[in-house]
Amino acid sequence: MSERSEILQRLSDAIVELDIDAIPRLCEEALEAGVPAHEAVIDGMAKGMEVVGQKYEDSEYYLAELIMAGETMKEGMAVLEPHLRAVEMKSAGRCVIGTVKGDLHDIGKNVFASLLKAQNYEVIDLGVDVSPEQFVEAVREHEPQLLAMSALLTTTMGGMGSVIAELERQGLRDGVKVIVGGAPMTQEFAEEIGADAVATDAVMGVRIVSGWA
Ligand code: B12
């Protein structure tokens, strides 16, 4: 195993083992070894999150472990975020972002928002559990080029369609590009709700939107 893949594996393992004390040091080590910050997030820590999700499904982990895994990943993000400048992209614009109503998952949204900021986007983050009314109001107020919505629960992803329908109803849809993201997204779903693009990983998302600039 190369040094890089070994470090990525250790980052993933630390998330799975909920090792909140070790994660900041491991993130530093990754940076020192020349691993780009976005790779440490997506190919390291986020891979561990997938294992955590699997263990939860297998009833090996419970809600307490999900919470702890989230906290561990946030500790790692605190070290890596200032270094998220490795994706080579041009352009800038304004983006309104949020996690849809009923959904409290924000780690992936925050990763995407950090990558956008690193590309000189102005990011207006509405947080989690954002209602269609709040999204539409923010689009009216801030007139962004980009609206980004995140959902991790299959039960909440439908809320994205409500936002787009409301934008259309209020005559705001044509002025903004809409990207939806999160693990349960599919191309078919994005087309069905009338989103402009879909991404299941944040780097892919940044590539797509910078192509629009
Ligand atoms: C951590 C976690 C939590 C934490 C969240 C902490 C936080 N602040 O976010 C807590 C403990 C709160 C939580 C709660 C729950 N969770 Co949870 N959680 C997870 C877990 C383990 C990891 C998610 C994560 O952060 N991954 C790391 C990030 C980096 O990845 P990501 O979110 O997928 O984001 C990436 C991409 O999707 C993309 N992306 C994300 N958003 C966006 C947006 C845009 C615009 C773009 C371009 C890209 C993009 O970019 C990111 C980086 O590449 C997942 C399992 C999993 N593997 O996903 C379950 C999971 C999502 N949770 C699940 C469940 C069931 C729940 C609960 C219902 C549990 C319960 N019984 O209460 C509650 C729901 C609470 C609520 N109302 O939202 C299920 C969802 C099942 C489903 N199909 O709907 C999962 C899949 C676990 C499982 N396997 O069953 N959870």
Q: Which residues contact 109 (CB under 8 A, 6 or more apart)?
A: 97, 98, 99, 125, 128, 148, 150, 181, 182
Domain 3-83 fold: 1.10.1240
Is residue 97 pLDDT above 90, yes or no? yes
Residue 98's alpha-carbon distances to 62, 67, 78, 134, 203, in angstroms, are: 26, 20, 20, 10, 17
Question: pLDDT tens, 30-78?
Answer: 999 999 998 999 899 989 988 998 999 899 999 999 889 989 999 999 9
**Cα of 37 vs its chain's centroid, Å:** 14
Which of ligand 1's atoms lies nearest the C-alpha of 179? 45
Contact 98, 125 (CB under 8 A): yes
The domain ranges of the chain are 3-83, 94-212
Domains 3-83 and 94-212 share a fold: no
Question: pLDDT tens, 173-189?
Answer: 999 999 999 999 999 99
Please state, in angstroms and rounded to a whole number, the distance separating the CA atoms of residues 77 and 89: 21
181 lines ligand 1 (CB under 6 A): yes
Question: pLDDT tens, 127-149?
Answer: 999 999 999 999 999 999 999 99
Q: Which residues contact 174 (CB under 8 A, 6 or more apart)?
A: none
Please state, in angstroms and rounded to a whole number, the distance separating the CA atoms of residues 36 and 34: 6
SS3 177: strand
User: What's the CATH superfamily of 94-212?
Assistant: Cobalamin-binding domain (3.40.50.280)
Task: List, in sequence order, the alpha helices (H) in 82-201.
Answer: 107-118, 132-142, 158-169, 187-193
pTM, to two decimals: 0.89
62 lines ligand 1 (CB under 6 A): no
Q: Which residue in this structure is represented by tokens 């299941």?
A: 200
53 lines ligand 1 (CB under 6 A): yes
Residue 115's alpha-carbon distances to 66, 105, 109, 208, in angstroms, are: 24, 17, 10, 12
Residue 40: closest CA among 23, 53, 52, 65: 23
Is residue 86 pLDDT above 50, yes or no? no
84 lines ligand 1 (CB under 6 A): no
Cβ-based burial of 1 (10 A; exposed 0-12, middle 13-18, buried ≥19): exposed
Phi, psi of 196 (to 5 degrees): -80, -30
Share of the chain above pLDDT 70, in %: 96
Determine the distance separating the centroid of ligand 1 and the alpha carbon of 197, expressed in angstroms. 20
